[in-house]
Amino acid sequence: MNLHEYQSKRVFARFGIPIPKGEVATTPVEARDIAKALGGPVVIKSQVLVGGRGKAGGIKLATTPDEAEARAGAILGMNIKGLTVNKVLVDEAADIKDEIYLGLVIDRSQRRVVMMGSSEGGVDIEEVAAVTPEKIIKIAIDPFIGFRTYQALELAAGLGIPKELTRSFSEIAAGLYNAFVACDASLAEINPLVVTGAGKLLGVDGKMVIDDNALFRQTALAEMRDSAEEDPYEAEARRFGLSYVKLDGDIGCMVNGAGLSMATMDMIKLYGGSPANFLDIGGGATAERVAAALRIILSDKNVKGVLINIFGGITRCDEVARGIIVALDEVATSVPMVVRLVGTNEEEGRAILADANMATAATLAEAAQKAVTAAQSV
Mind telling me the catalytic residues?
A: 101, 189
In angstroms, give the least distance from the CB of 54 to ligand GDP. 3
In angstroms, give the least distance from the CB of 143 to Mn ion. 28
Stretch that binds ligand GDP, among 74-82, 90-98, 254-262, 303-311 (CB under 6 A): 90-98
Residue nearest to Mn ion (CB): 205
Q: How far is CA 82 from CA 178, 278, 303, in A?
A: 33, 22, 20
Please pick, from the candidates 205, 229, 250, 346, the single residue that binds ligand GDP as defined by CB under 6 A.
205
Through-space distance between the first and last CA atoms of the chain, rounded to whole angstroms: 36
Distance CA 92, CA 121 (A): 20
Interface with Mn ion, residue 205, by CB under 5 A: yes
Interface with ligand GDP, residue 54, by CB under 6 A: yes
Please pick, from the candidates 204, 292, 303, 335, the single residue that binds ligand GDP as defined by CB under 6 A.
204
In angstroms, give the least distance from the CB of 9 to Mn ion. 11
Interface with ligand GDP, residue 89, by CB under 6 A: no
82 burial level (CB within 10 Å; 0-12, 13-18, 19+): exposed
Residue 291: how many CA atoms within 13 Å on its side-chain side? 14
Number of H helices, E strands in the chain: 13, 19
Binding mask 292-331 for ligand GDP (x = CB under 6 A): ----------------------------------------
Contact, 333 vs 291, CB < 8 A?
A: no
Task: Give how many residues touch Mn ion by CB under 5 A.
Answer: 2
Interface with ligand GDP, residue 18, by CB under 6 A: no
By beta-carbon proximity to ligand GDP, the closer residue of 96 and 106 is 96
From ligand GDP, Mn ion, none, which one binds at residue 264 (CB under 5 to 8 Å depending on kind)?
Answer: none
User: How would you classify the pairing of strands 305-312 and 337-343?
Assistant: parallel
Contact, 135 vs 120, CB < 8 A?
A: yes
Q: Using CB under 6 A, which residues numbered 133 to 192 contact ligand GDP? A: 191-192
Please pick, from the candidates 99, 189, 229, 280, the single residue that binds ligand GDP as defined by CB under 6 A.
99
By beta-carbon proximity to ligand GDP, the closer residue of 188 and 338 is 188
Distance CA 245, CA 165 (A): 42
Interface with ligand GDP, residue 203, by CB under 6 A: no
Assign residue 16 a region (left: φ > 0; alpha: ψ between -120 and 50; beta: otherwise).
left
Q: Using CB under 6 A, which residues numbered 105 to 144 contact ligand GDP? A: 122
By beta-carbon proximity to Mn ion, the closer residue of 96 and 215 is 96
Please pick, from the candidates 94, 173, 298, 303, the single residue that binds ligand GDP as defined by CB under 6 A.
94
From Mn ion, ligand GDP, none, which one binds at residue 99 (CB under 5 to 8 Å depending on kind)?
Answer: ligand GDP
Nearest 5°: phi and psi at 338?
A: -125, 135
In angstroms, give the least distance from the CB of 375 to ligand GDP. 37
By beta-carbon proximity to ligand GDP, the closer residue of 122 and 305 is 122
User: How would you classify the pairing of strands 243-246 and 277-280?
Assistant: antiparallel
Interface with ligand GDP, residue 4, by CB under 6 A: no
Contact, 170 vs 149, CB < 8 A?
A: yes
Residue 80: how many CA atoms within 13 Å on its side-chain side? 25
By beta-carbon proximity to Mn ion, the closer residue of 151 and 191 is 191
Stretch that binds ligand GDP, among 93-101, 169-177, 221-229, 290-298 (CB under 6 A): 93-101
DSSP character at residue 4: P
DSSP character at residue 1: -
Assign residue 361 a region (left: φ > 0; alpha: ψ between -120 and 50; beta: otherwise).
beta
Distance CA 17, CA 35 (A): 22
Stretch that binds ligand GDP, among 48-56, 239-247, 268-276, 363-371 (CB under 6 A): 48-56
Q: Per DSSP, what are the bridge partners of residue 194?
A: 99, 202
280 burial level (CB within 10 Å; 0-12, 13-18, 19+): buried
Binding region for ligand GDP (CB under 6 A):
43, 45, 51-54, 59, 93-94, 96, 99, 122, 191-192, 204-205
Binding region for Mn ion (CB under 5 A):
191, 205
